[in-house]
Amino acid sequence: MAARATGGSGDGRDAGAPLLDDLMPWSVRPLRTGRPWVIAPDAGWLRARWERLVRAPAEERERLFGATRARTPRTAVAALPGQATGTGRFAREEGPCPEPVRIAHGPFDEQWLLPDHRLIDAARPELWRVADDHQLFAVEHGYAPRDTGPALSVTGLLPDGHSPAGRPGRIRPLFRRPGGQEPNLAPGLLDLLRARHGAAVTAGSVLAWVLAAARPSPAGCVVPLPADPARWSAGVELGQELLRLQLRGAGGGERPRLPGGRRPYVRATVPPVPEALEYDAETGTLGLGTGRIAPVPAGAWEFRVGGVRMLELWFARRSAAGAKDADGLAALRPGAWPQAWTSELLELITLLALLDGLRPRQEALADGPWITAAELRAAGVLPVAAAARRPASVLGHREEGPDGQFALL
C-alpha cells in the first residue's frame, strides 16, 4: 500500500519520502573561490583585473592576489579539466587573460568566472570533467526556515552553488560521465519507476519530476515519488516546462517569454549609475534610479530563494552601491551601466514571473499516494551503495598538472 510523504530521513528507515541525496547520490560541494574578484557580471571586468594583476610589481601583485591558506601566487596546482590555462606558479605569470566562462552564480543569476585553478581555492575539478553540452546540474539551495521559494534549480552552465541565504546546498550532475553517460541516479531507481510508470521513464524525466515536486526540509531536499502513473506524467510534463524556462534557450530551446501585454519594457532609460532599486506594487513598476521598467508582476518582485528577493540580489551585485565596500581588484569595475544588463534584467523578470505562475500546478502534486520506503528497499534502491556517492573515473583526456606535468587520474 502506498504512503503519504512525510519528509523522511532519506536513509530508508521510515515510510516517508526519500531525499534527493538518495535519488541522485553523487553530489559536490559548492565552489569556493577564496577571492571575490575572480567572478563578475561582466567578462570585461575580469580581463581588466587580470591585466592589472599580471602587470603589477611583485609586492603589489602579492597584495592584489589576496592569498589564502589554499592559494598564494606560489601555489603549484593543475589546470582545470578542459581549460587551457597556465600551470606555472602565478608569481611568474605574464601571459594573456584566459577566456572567462559563463557560470550560474547561485540561483537565477549568470555571471563570468576566470577559469584558472591557481586563482580558485576549491574549484571542484570533478564538476569540470563532466560539464558538457549533454550535462545538467541540479543545485540545492540550502534550507531556510519559512522559505517559500523552490528547493532547487537546474542549469546547463557550470554552477558555483552559491546560496543567497549563506546556507550551502549541493550540486548534483545528472550524468556521472561526459556525453550524457551513466545517469547519476540510485542503482535500481530507473527500473523501479519504469515498472510503475512505463518504459518511457528516463534520467531526464526523473530530473523533471524532481524539479516539479521537490520541497525543502531541514534534512535536505525531499522528493516524494508518486505511485500513480497519471500524477507522474503530470509532474514530468510540468517539470519539463520548468526546465525549459530555467535553461533560458540553451541548446537551441525557446527563451522565456510572457504573453503580449504582460511583457516588461523599458519605460525610462536606466541611468549610467543607478543607485537604488525600488518597486511600486500599485503600478507594477520597477525603478532603477530614474530608470523605469513595467509591467513587473508582483510575483516576480517577491520571488525569493532562502528568504532573499532574487531581483534585489541581482541588482546589488551590479550596483555602484554594492561596490562601495569592495577593495583591491574587486573594486575594479566599469563606471556605467551596460545595455546588456538591462536585457538580462528583462529576461530575469520574465523568468521569475513565469516560474511564479507555475506554483499552483506544483502545489497540486503534493497529494499521494506515494511509493513507500519499503518498496524502495525491496527493489534494492535503498540503501544507496557507497560507490554511487563517489565520482566516476573520467579518463577522457590528459590534464596538465603543476608546472606542465600531466596529471594521472
pLDDT exceeds 90 at position 367: no
CA dist 24 and 344 (Å) reads 31
- E-state strands within 270-360: 277-280, 285-288, 291-294, 304-305, 308-309
Q: Which residues contact 363 (CB under 8 A, 6 or more apart)?
A: none
Q: Is residue 2 scored above 50 in pLDDT?
A: no
- The Cα 91–Cα 75 span in angstroms is 9
d(CA 301, CA 109): 15
Residues 368 and 375: their CA atoms lie apart, in Å, by 15
Whole-model pTM? 0.92
The closest alpha carbon to 239, from 113, 150, 114, 123, belongs to: 150
pLDDT at 9 over 70: no
Whether 16 has a pLDDT exceeding 90, the answer reads: no
1-15, 33-47, 223-237, 376-390: range with lowest mean pLDDT? 1-15
Which H helix or E strand runs over 406?
strand 406-407
Percent of the chain with pLDDT over 90: 79
| Separation between Cα atoms, residue 184 and residue 392, nearest integer Å | 10
Nearest to 227 by CA among 395, 119, 365, 398: 365
pLDDT of residue 300: 98
Cell numbers of 204, please?
A: 531526464
Q: Which three cell numbers stand for residue 338?
A: 551596460
Per-residue pLDDT reduced to its tens digit, 382-398 = 999 999 999 998 765 56
How much is the average pLDDT of 88-96? 95
pLDDT at 234 over 60: yes
Task: State which of 76-85, 107-116, 364-373 shows the largest mean pLDDT.
Answer: 107-116
The answer, yes or no, to whether residue 193 has pLDDT greater than 80, is yes
Rounded Cα distance between 18 and 222, Å, is 6
Count how many Cα atoms sit within 13 Å of the Cα of residue 245 in the half-sphere of its side chain. 25
Q: What pLDDT score was predicted for residue 407? A: 47
Per-chain mean pLDDT for the chain = 91
Q: How confident is the model at residue 373 (pLDDT cuts 50, 70, 90)?
A: confident
Q: Cβ of 403: how many Cβ atoms within 10 Å?
A: 12
- 14-23, 69-78, 217-226: lowest mean pLDDT where? 14-23
